[in-house]
Structure 1
Amino acid sequence: MSELVSNLKTRPDISKPQWSQRTYYGRVRHFFTLTNPLTLTSSVARQEQCRQIVLDYKNGKVSPTLTVSELWKAKTLYDSTYHPDTGEKMFFLGRMSAQMPANMLINGMLLSLYRTFPGVVFSHWINQSFNAVVNYTNRSGNSKTSNERLILSYSCATGGAMAAALSLNAMVKNKNSIAARLVPFAAVALANTINIPMIRSNEVTEGLELRDENGELLARSRQMAILSIAQVTLSRIAMAMPDMVMTPIIMNRITRTMYYRTRPWMKYSEYPIQTMLAGMALFFTTPMCCALFPQKTAVEVTKLEASVQKEIFSRADAPEVVFYNKGL
């Protein structure tokens, strides 16, 4: 049985993840718990209970029956359900724990409906609608995005993905089928480079929040906003790459077999096969790619813009290092 928290001389610091975020391995372990799809099945009552445990613990209130294991389980559910900066409950489809099951179905659709105009339009519309929800939900800090900006970024990303998919389909038509099967990934990668920067563009204009180790807001940095957006974009593309590149290659080999060619009903198996393969890949790539860069990143003040350095160093207790949340 796990030890009681009240009996410990040195209690766990839940302001930080359970594992060190300085190493890639530690970040992967953290994100495997954060992206666990099973957290989506927790009840509202359980979510509120975990939230209260975490908030009470931060305020120095500890139940005499609370164990270390229960504390970390509560923190895991809290982190996967509530935004790290605002503390607000995130829309369930926007949580990183929804990435694997949702993208499993969507990627299976993208890889199966790439041949026809209606299929391309429908699948990319669904994908970009989901991406817009995820990007908005996981934006950094207390950043506010106007409805006009949301609509514009969503429209541009959806239009860009459709245009790329249709154009590339026309280019590879009647050519090697593997090239045609890789079109959805190219379209998704392009859409990510449009959607994420646009939906978070206000962070570039206003700057990303910089805080001290106690969480106090010190300044805002446009330079760190640009870096964070680039890192998130790269992570999202890397997240989609294994299943959207390897799955088409595997499926292309399957369709060339005599078994597939001699059984007309096998054409209906493409969606379930590709969905299953996508799910298997995403189970690992989601946490592994989220962990490519630390979510809460430390940066030396001397490496920030001159105006931001001046603002921070003008304080009496100016820190040498500040922190920011890059978002997911």
Structure 2
Amino acid sequence: MTIEKDFDITKPLWDLNTFYGRWRHYAWVTNPMSCFVYQKDILAAKQLYDDYRIGKVPIGTTREQLLRAKNLYESAFHPDTGELQNVFGRMSFQVPGGMAITGAMLQFYRSTTGVVFWQWVNQSFNALANYTNRNAMSPITTTQLGTAYVSATAAAMIVAMGCKSYWGKHANPLLARYVPFVAVAAANCVNIPLMRQNEIIQGVELTDENGKKCTQSRIAAAKGISQVVISRIVMCAPGMCILPVIMERLEKYQWMQRIKVLHAPIQVLLCGCFLTLMVPTACALFPQNCPIATSTLKRWEPASYELLKKNCENNETPEYLYFNKGL
């Protein structure tokens, strides 16, 4: 198949101004199968992507090859820096990684050792994902990374153990199954803001619709981080809230009681089903190229607004500015 002359490999295939368009985009980009592609093939895809972007189209290249290169490039490389991301931190690894960890947290919620261990594993995984998908224009120090990791892990364990202790004495057995979700939600509220604290302290770069850097904003950083926190909680909520009810019902059947050794694999597979749907859904809740009204800067960040006016011709400021909120 030949390539259309107007095909732009850098532009999304769907309308990212709509939820459905974003959902289709993220379902495509976060396809977990891309995690199992050899690194040499990913680098070859990047080379083809870069060559086509500058007009060097290899003879015989088809549209399918370009789409494959685009898919691998956007799933594996950071949108800000163009650096190859750690495979375990990519959003495309959320399904295989998240299903294993979430399934284990839901299965071993009764044991104190199990709660502590799997909360630690989960926060280690989350810290890597948060760092990998941050706004890379705001660098973070090793000390800040360590603080974020330790704080989030401690928050998750304290909440988990507190809920386990209280609900174990005062609540029905079903409610105790929600200990992992409450702990994960609390830890996300700690982990993500701490991991990206430099964005709040220094502000994130804002650009106009053409990508020209105009100013910086701390309010924009807070907006982007809060949206990421909401997205991460929504991502895990259905699996961690609905699955306990399903397992509570299933475990009452005799045939389920005879296959207790399979309870953990069953929960892992069911978590995978939920995450396959929820990863693109959560990512699509808010645009990654997040808008912020210029009037907001004028009202709440006068210094940022003044810098914006200096960087605009004839002080004609755009109505909206944009920044990468991360995932």
Say whether 1:21 aligns with 2:21.
no
Q: Report the Cα offset of residue 233 of structure 1.
A: 0.2
Match of 2:291 in 1: 298
Structure 2, unaligned runs of 5 or more: none
Residue in 1 that maps onto 2:263: 270
Q: Supply the AA of the counterpart residue of 2:189.
A: T
Residue in 2 that maps onto 1:310: 306
Contact 1:109–1:275 at 8 Å: present in 2 too? yes
8 Å contact from structure 1 (residues 208, 221) kept in 2: yes
8 Å contact from structure 1 (residues 295, 325) kept in 2 = yes
**What does the per-residue CA deviation read over 1:263-319, in whole Å, with 9 as the maximum and x for residues that have no partner?**
3xx322221111111001000000111100011123343332322221112124365
Separation in 2, partners of 1:157, 1:296: 27
Partner in structure 1 of residue 243 of structure 2: 247
Runs of 4+ in 1 over 4 A off after TM superposition: none
- Cα deviation for residue 73 of structure 1 reads 1.9
Partner of 2:36: 41
Query: Deviations for 1:160-206, whole angstroms, at most 9, x for unmatched residues?
Result: 11111111111111531110101110010000000001100110001
How far apart in 1 are the matches of 2:176 and 2:262? Answer: 18
Letter in 2 for 1:267: K
User: What is aligned with 1:170?
Assistant: 165
Shift of 1:141: 3.2
Farther-moved stretch of structure 1 (16-25 vs 53-62):
53-62
Match of 2:321 in 1: 322
- Asked if the contact 1:141–1:325 (Cα under 8 Å) also holds between the matched residues in 2, the reply is no
Q: Write the deviation string for residues 34-91 of structure 1: whole angstroms up to 9, x where unpaired.
A: 1101111112221112111222222232234222332222111101000001000000
User: TM-score by structure 2 length?
Assistant: 0.93
Deviation at 1:107, TM superposition (A): 0.3
Partner of 2:187: 191
Q: Structure 1: give runs of 5+ residues left out of the alignment.
A: none
Q: How many equivalent pairs are there?
A: 320
Instruction: Find the counterpart in structure 2 of residue 104 from structure 1.
Output: 99
Counterpart check, 1:200 vs 2:199: no
* Secondary structure in 2 matching 1:173: helix
Cross-structure match for 1:257: 253
Counterpart-to-counterpart distance in 1, 2:304 and 2:168:
52
1:193–1:233 contact (8 Å) kept in structure 2: yes
Q: Conserved in 2, the CA contact under 8 Å of 1:209 and 1:221?
A: yes
> Equivalent residue of 1:170, what SS?
helix
> Does residue 126 of the first structure (1) align with residue 121 of the second (2)?
yes
Structure 1 equivalent of residue 7 of structure 2: 12
Contact 2:174 2:245 in 1 (8 A): yes
The alignment yields a C-alpha RMSD, in angstroms, of 1.5
Which residue does the alignment assign to 2:2?
A: 3
Q: Which amino acid aligns with 1:162?
A: M
Q: Do 1:192 and 1:237's aligned partners in 2 also have CA atoms closer than 8 Å?
A: yes
User: What amino acid is the match of 1:271?
Assistant: A
Deviation at 1:215, TM superposition (A): 3.0
